[in-house]
Structure 1
Amino acid sequence: MALIFTVEFWLTVGFVLSILEIFSGFFIALSFGIAGFILAALLKVLPALFTEWYEIALIYSVISLLIVFLSRKISAKSKAIKHDVND
């Protein structure tokens, strides 16, 4: 479980999920990848903040869900504003 506390692990998670998003196109893996990058930054800046594995898992889950919901909301707004050529 010590691997989960390293910045390199979360950077790898971010890169792998971002590359997976290129091949899938569902926009979900990118959200989790961005959350991995954010968590890596948090671990780099505040390493003493996280002492247990479940704290990291909880923060990663919350960040991931926030990014998913925000991206869906932004995506829905941009689709609603889209004008049709035939109008």
Structure 2
Amino acid sequence: MDIPVVMPQLGNEIEEALIQQWHKAVGETVAAGEALLTIETPKVTIDIEAPAAGVLKEITVPIDELAGVGATLGLIDGDGA
């Protein structure tokens, strides 16, 4: 089952963030709660954690691209855990 990695709401004024770095590549195993990618806003740089264990199946928003709140950043294959 595919589990989306979603851009969280980071504050009332933040509508989008820049993907600064992916810490995993497609095909790599991820653990639930592991730092999966780093995003940057004008006010903060934070890590987004994997919502579930599995294998990173797809990166839908690459490095140096902007993503809005609620956007799917990538997919984790939960059956690959």
TM-score by length of 1: 0.28
Which of the two has greater strand per residue?
2
Report 1 or 2 for greater relative contact order, CA contacts < 8 Å, sequence distance ≥ 6: 2
The answer to which structure has the higher helix fraction is 1
> Whose radius of gyration is greater, 1 or 2?
1
What is the TM-score with the length of structure 2 in the denominator? 0.29
